[in-house]
A and B are shown apart, each in its own frame.
Chain A
């Protein structure tokens, strides 16, 4: 069964450093998303992406964040200058359409020290 994959599974970085989280969505899906989950809290929407541009973003997704689909398979989330409060699990998801189910990857645990 096709699945969303994410790398790395765990990333440790120092405050102020740039990180790139990578995702490979399900191959025939057209819509891509990033969510985050601070430990013990609910999952929060960050951004949705379709046709090589951002469809919608939350107030969390400020100028420090960017997304990109650099090739036909990868979807990346970049945090330019990490803060302590960026420590969280970051989940990538994909769907076939806007009214279709979203499937989540296993997540990347980001630890900012």
Chain B
């Protein structure tokens, strides 16, 4: 199974709040899990990534939590800002082929 399931489809968070986006996968051969941020009309920009031998990775306000046994991983955006409003895609990689989730449209309100 090559699918990566992502939820929620859309998310509204107040400024300063925590945004949480979840992904699940089936293929245990996936060995790399990046998150991409995409603004309208732009290409996906790599945000943060994790490998399955690590349970958590933090970069600034962005944290990936990875649960290998549950085959789930999530993105947490702390202190969410209006500039974070974008579509977020999780992805999983095997042999360098990225399989993307369906995307989460995040809106951060004032």
Name A's B-contacting residues (CB within 8 A): 4, 31, 33, 35, 41-45, 48, 55-56, 58, 91, 95, 98-99, 101-107
Q: Which residue from chain B places its CB closest to the CB of A56 in the assembled complex?
A: B97
Name B's A-contacting residues (CB within 8 A): 31-32, 34, 36, 42-46, 49, 89, 91, 95-103
Contact A45 B98 (CB under 8 A): yes
Known: A42-B89, A43-B89. A98 touches B45 (CB 8 A): no
Q: Which residue from chain A places its CB closest to the CB of B43 in the assembled complex?
A: A104
Main secondary structure of the interface of A (DSSP, over half): strand
Cross-chain contact of B42 among A41, A43, A102, A107 (Cβ < 8 A)? A107
Contact B43 A106 (CB under 8 A): yes
Known: A42-B103, A43-B89. A95 touches B45 (CB 8 A): no
Alpha-carbon distance A25/B44, docked complex (angstroms): 15
Main secondary structure of the interface of B (DSSP, over half): strand
Contact A104 B103 (CB under 8 A): no
Contact A56 B95 (CB under 8 A): yes
Q: Which residue from chain B places its CB closest to the CB of A6 in the assembled complex?
A: B43
Cross-chain contact of B96 among A42, A43, A44, A98 (Cβ < 8 A)? A98
Cross-chain contact of B97 among A41, A48, A105, A107 (Cβ < 8 A)? A48
Residues in A neighbouring B96, C-beta threshold 8 A: 31, 33, 48, 55-56, 95, 98-99, 102
Residues in A neighbouring B43, C-beta threshold 8 A: 4, 91, 104-107
Residues in A neighbouring B49, C-beta threshold 8 A: 101
Residues in A neighbouring B97, C-beta threshold 8 A: 45, 48, 56, 58
Residues in B neighbouring A58, C-beta threshold 8 A: 97
**9 cross-chain pairs, A with B, having the tightest CB-CB distances, nearest first:** A104-B43, A98-B96, A43-B100, A42-B100, A106-B43, A104-B44, A42-B102, A107-B43, A45-B97
Contact B31 A99 (CB under 8 A): yes
Q: Which residue from chain B places its CB closest to the CB of A99 in the assembled complex?
A: B32
Alpha-carbon distance A35/B91, docked complex (angstroms): 13
Contact A103 B46 (CB under 8 A): yes
Contact A101 B46 (CB under 8 A): yes
